[in-house]
Structure 1
């Protein structure tokens, strides 16, 4: 009897443990390295992730709360099914032009206490996980509001984070925040991530010495709100919906969807090194185009007076100078910024557009998105925020031969604002217009979803270099983060390559640039956007070395392939990009000491290349060098400097 009782106790404990915690299903990547497990823990659905046998995410919560039921607790497993996904597609606007996607899928269905079901669909490819919630009809219920998500990410202890703050709503210039233009916490303990508003996507995490994880979302459109990461609470980051104060407190903070319906995809990119982080295409792999392009949109380079010459340049004479600059540089476009309707006027603008056309230069025009969401006052105003006004304006733009729009001041992630983004894009496509967004949210798969979308800012970009000394001092630091974070999940319209010594029209004193010329040229390769609004000025044609002018005259903006070469976020970054048959290798150094790198460049092995680098005093140089047959090449990068290898 004495031996039987302990056995009964042990058996009861095992049965209790099994009931409290049971594994539901597993799925792994095609190469078997990335594994995801789904479990039920005391009625709470959770998932975990390993890579090469190392834990990358511990048990992390799943679930939604809706106005028709709670799907976060008291859940039971119903069924699961597996499958595979294969597709190939082309995309000219991202880091790679041809993509082949292969993934294994797992669909887990759960029931809540009211017997209502919800499913989670996981797609696991090599180095990437994408998952979303799928909601069926519940009886006669065909419309619901999703109030919040329990979706979370629980990393192993001692994980280090690289995150950018979510801005507080209705603050900053003309109460236009949030606009994804904040600084970063880089390589810090998760316990320091206590921002009250949380952090924007994407978020990057270093899992001890075991690898890296990048979190983001994709597939957000008019049918849902965009989301972000919470601060670090109780050992986990969760998906948070927009602050109710966004959009001047108008519009729901959740999502109104019809049933059956789906959420956007949450994405997790995992790697033992930073290579999968930089090279991922998951934001576009799991989405599809929403409409056909109305024409064959052409991408390229643009001049832009406002960034250096500012508001005073918004006059006819100065815009002629920038059209002439675009023509001299063989650029495809000019961007004419705010106040053109007031300072130049519609009648003279028609004349200016014809002048640009005669020079072979297409025109982008700036518009304020606002009518009632914030206090932004620059004009044209009240042209993009309503369907009637928007279509009338776009009819005129099409008649004049304008090629595209830059739409500004879209502060917020509510579903109400996502509808405005989609409406502007859809109407613009009907009129043959490309659209770039400024003062905007992160693009979430939009390059593939919207054929006429040509980029968004959503970063602490070039204008802040002009306005803020602290940003100038941290320019190299921020630039070394973008290839691993912001720019790896979406096109980034930075508006850079500033070659004036001072960031103003006089170029003699004032806001001094603290990075080298070669650093600036390198960012033209490191930063990816299908149309680049470069910060060149007319004086650059004569005050720069000819090799710099020629480099900028021939710089591409679309890429067929992107490869990670070397780097560490916040310290230095080296990427290789291919346009056609020509490779460009670009790197920058954000550290205070000279960085010596021994690079492996098999794509350039045995070839003669143009080598752009900084001298010890920071002045630019260009030479022709031959890469050894083994593809190994050593380079010294000066502090706040850069280098480029360009295939001849």
Structure 2
């Protein structure tokens, strides 16, 4: 009997050592860290994530490898498990200047796991299991003043064979589609992928969105690669193979990686999640009253050119006045402006009309030469330029053409944000990496492009046929992780036509979230709108107090409700090339009687139909949409 008890104790002890669990405060998400091996030496360190459905946990992420390597030490195999901390409760409540929600709140459980490699060098992995997902990062806790090189990670997300996924083939500007694919089947053409990556758990109503957050000056940004195994997506740093001179990370110790994030839940949980900003560093700015989101009139799209024509710039200032938009963006070539005035004249004209001017800059890349170029590359140049912008009365900058995700480029982004804040300048990044939580740390970052947006109507004919499905995919992918400068709401045609309906285009003002919402069409297109859609665009907010997904599926349809103050806005778009009935369930409003100003497809794609309807909580509204059609509504109590 005694031997049996001893043997049972040994088995239980092994189980305690070999697996560690972390559970979210709401009990819905669980992470199991696999430490299995003899004598607490871990040959292969891995974790898996589970989600509770009807009192049963289902696997969202199978066992997925962990580990990281420096040039001087490796922390992937034969690790000695030292200890696991007691669970720590995480509860964060903070305000955002812009985004899907002004007041953000999330709770999580944190545990730190300590290891040593074969040379007795320490490495920690910090796991947080939040109510809507998982975040983890690597930490080298020891102090070392000399520089070390972090060269790669073993971190690999394993997705089962034939998992439905929506992933963007990687390119430096993050401007591509998120096509539906099946793991193991659709990998012949592309084998490197940009964040975020959306997937659906097979045969379960559960989704996962993989990304990363809280990039600092001591990190590079990463991508996913399944070059080694078609179902295994490894976190991959910029490398010499990408033609970058700087690869990996150079740093002193202590050091921590960015947070690796996995949002988990229903599609509504994915869309509503603020996990990316939840794990990012809080802002150190004491005063943010000068940071004002807003709508912007934008000159480039309709003209396929910049702002060297003073009289054209004046037209867009007048458009901003007409449409009640607070900003005008003076795009590239303003340094060679002529035809009646120069840049100072244009800025003064905008200010005389009560419009706040923003100005474009080339980040300084040598492979693209639109001017002005090379005015921001050093702290001294930024100080000179930003001081001048303050003097003439400019409120923000758009910086374009960044050259990759390597560490020195992350430093450049951060330096621009910090220096711009000193001069109370708002920032928009174009030709840039996807958001990774900087909007919380540096709230003067209003938006980032990193999307295959309306600008592509100028470049080739592909978007014409793909726009409707693409637009219904972005709310579940790119726009989840941060503000997205798609430059929407175009009714006329630029170089290539659009076949989405006018109501679809109008709906993008609500479906897409961006702290600067650049309305891209020409002045005549907005000025000639019927009264109802025109008035809607005059007053639609760009920063929100709440965001709810009402219904949707990537590439097929999306219905989103957003709240500002005591007013709700709803918008839906049809991603299919056939008519579709969209159902709006009014479960998101409080009890009481409401009126809804509804603007939807007219008889054809180039007309609107408007009506005022009465709604109350619990009602369901059926809205018929044309192929590639849509609707918007504003709801008042």
CA displacement at 1:257 relative to structure 2: 2.2
Offset from partner CA, 1:345-370 (integer Å, 9 cap, x none): 99821122111111000010000001
Verify the 8 A CA contact 1:338 1:380 in the aligned structure 2. Answer: yes
CA displacement at 1:592 relative to structure 2: 2.0
- Which residue number corresponds to residue 546 of structure 1? 531
The answer to whether the aligner puts 1:221 opposite 2:226 as a matched pair is no
TM-score computed with the length of structure 1 as normaliser: 0.91
CA displacement at 1:194 relative to structure 2: 4.7
TM-score computed with the length of structure 2 as normaliser: 0.92
Verify the 8 A CA contact 1:196 1:231 in the aligned structure 2. Answer: no
- Which residue number corresponds to residue 455 of structure 1? 447
CA displacement at 1:117 relative to structure 2: 1.4
- Which residue number corresponds to residue 159 of structure 1? 163
- Which residue number corresponds to residue 354 of structure 2? 360
Equivalent in 622, 626, 632 of residue 644 of structure 1: 632
Offset from partner CA, 1:276-317 (integer Å, 9 cap, x none): 110110011112235316652111111011111122753111
Verify the 8 A CA contact 1:293 1:452 in the aligned structure 2. Answer: no
Equivalent in 217, 232, 236 of residue 236 of structure 1: 232
Verify the 8 A CA contact 1:194 1:231 in the aligned structure 2. Answer: no
1 CA distance for matches of 2:490 and 2:25? 44
Verify the 8 A CA contact 2:485 2:517 in the aligned structure 1. Answer: yes
The answer to whether the aligner puts 1:489 opposite 2:489 as a matched pair is no
SS at match of 2:509: helix
Equivalent in 18, 27, 40 of residue 22 of structure 2: 27
Verify the 8 A CA contact 1:566 1:575 in the aligned structure 2. Answer: yes
- Residues 125/241 of structure 1: CA separation in 2 closer, same or farther (3 Å cut): same
Verify the 8 A CA contact 1:404 1:434 in the aligned structure 2. Answer: yes
Aligned pairs for 1:192-207 (under 5 A) are 192-194=186-188, 198-207=192-201
Equivalent in 316, 326, 330 of residue 336 of structure 1: 330
Equivalent in 547, 560, 570 of residue 555 of structure 2: 570
- Residues 118/494 of structure 1: CA separation in 2 closer, same or farther (3 Å cut): same
- Which residue number corresponds to residue 326 of structure 1? 320
- Which residue number corresponds to residue 421 of structure 2? 429
- Residues 232/48 of structure 1: CA separation in 2 closer, same or farther (3 Å cut): farther
Return 5+ residue gaps in structure 2 as ranges. 1-6, 38-42
Pick which of 285-294 and 567-576 moved more. Answer: 285-294
1 CA distance for matches of 2:401 and 2:460? 19
Aligned pairs for 1:11-26 (under 5 A) are 23-26=18-21
CA displacement at 1:100 relative to structure 2: 1.7
- Which residue number corresponds to residue 5 of structure 1? none
- Which residue number corresponds to residue 7 of structure 1? none
- Which residue number corresponds to residue 391 of structure 1? 383
Offset from partner CA, 1:133-164 (integer Å, 9 cap, x none): 111116x5653211000111112333211100
- Residues 629/214 of structure 1: CA separation in 2 closer, same or farther (3 Å cut): closer
The answer to whether the aligner puts 1:467 opposite 2:452 as a matched pair is no
CA displacement at 1:388 relative to structure 2: 1.8
2 CA distance for matches of 1:50 and 1:440? 33
1 CA distance for matches of 2:155 and 2:356? 45
Equivalent in 605, 620, 633 of residue 632 of structure 1: 620
Verify the 8 A CA contact 1:304 1:334 in the aligned structure 2. Answer: yes
CA displacement at 1:198 relative to structure 2: 0.8
Equivalent in 400, 408, 412 of residue 392 of structure 2: 400
Aligned pairs for 1:531-610 (under 5 A) are 531-604=516-589, 606-610=593-597
- Which residue number corresponds to residue 130 of structure 2? 125
The answer to whether the aligner puts 1:308 opposite 2:302 as a matched pair is yes
1 CA distance for matches of 2:33 and 2:118? 19
CA displacement at 1:541 relative to structure 2: 4.3
- Residues 75/541 of structure 1: CA separation in 2 closer, same or farther (3 Å cut): closer
1 CA distance for matches of 2:597 and 2:338? 43
Equivalent residue pairs, number: 616
Pick which of 465-474 and 115-124 moved more. Answer: 465-474
CA displacement at 1:197 relative to structure 2: 5.4
Verify the 8 A CA contact 2:533 2:599 in the aligned structure 1. Answer: no
- Residues 431/233 of structure 1: CA separation in 2 closer, same or farther (3 Å cut): same
The answer to whether the aligner puts 1:317 opposite 2:311 as a matched pair is yes
Verify the 8 A CA contact 2:90 2:107 in the aligned structure 1. Answer: yes
CA displacement at 1:31 relative to structure 2: 1.4
Offset from partner CA, 1:31-62 (integer Å, 9 cap, x none): 11211011124511110111111011111111
Verify the 8 A CA contact 2:95 2:103 in the aligned structure 1. Answer: yes
- Residues 616/21 of structure 1: CA separation in 2 closer, same or farther (3 Å cut): farther
- Which residue number corresponds to residue 174 of structure 1? none
Return 5+ residue gaps in structure 1 as ranges. 1-10, 168-177, 504-509
- Which residue number corresponds to residue 78 of structure 2? 74
Equivalent in 520, 523, 528 of residue 513 of structure 2: 528
Verify the 8 A CA contact 1:21 1:39 in the aligned structure 2. Answer: no
2 CA distance for matches of 1:141 and 1:425? 27
2 CA distance for matches of 1:440 and 1:411? 8
2 CA distance for matches of 1:55 and 1:151? 18
- Residues 541/238 of structure 1: CA separation in 2 closer, same or farther (3 Å cut): closer
CA displacement at 1:617 relative to structure 2: 2.3
2 CA distance for matches of 1:485 and 1:344? 41
Equivalent in 276, 280, 289 of residue 282 of structure 2: 289
- Residues 345/607 of structure 1: CA separation in 2 closer, same or farther (3 Å cut): same
- Residues 142/35 of structure 1: CA separation in 2 closer, same or farther (3 Å cut): farther
SS at match of 1:143: strand
Verify the 8 A CA contact 2:311 2:340 in the aligned structure 1. Answer: no
Q: What RMSD over aligned residues (CA atoms) do the two structures have, in Å? A: 2.5
Verify the 8 A CA contact 2:310 2:341 in the aligned structure 1. Answer: no
SS at match of 1:276: helix
Pick which of 183-192 and 489-498 moved more. Answer: 183-192
The answer to whether the aligner puts 1:620 opposite 2:608 as a matched pair is yes
Pick which of 140-149 and 451-460 moved more. Answer: 140-149
CA displacement at 1:112 relative to structure 2: 1.0
Pick which of 615-624 and 146-155 moved more. Answer: 615-624
- Residues 104/142 of structure 1: CA separation in 2 closer, same or farther (3 Å cut): farther
1 CA distance for matches of 2:227 and 2:615? 47
- Which residue number corresponds to residue 57 of structure 1? 61
- Which residue number corresponds to residue 108 of structure 1? 113
CA displacement at 1:19 relative to structure 2: 8.3
CA displacement at 1:193 relative to structure 2: 3.1
Aligned pairs for 1:39-54 (under 5 A) are 39-41=34-36, 43-52=43-52, 53-54=57-58
Aligned pairs for 1:371-386 (under 5 A) are 373-386=365-378
2 CA distance for matches of 1:410 and 1:529? 20
Verify the 8 A CA contact 1:465 1:475 in the aligned structure 2. Answer: no
- Which residue number corresponds to residue 180 of structure 1? 174
- Which residue number corresponds to residue 4 of structure 2? none
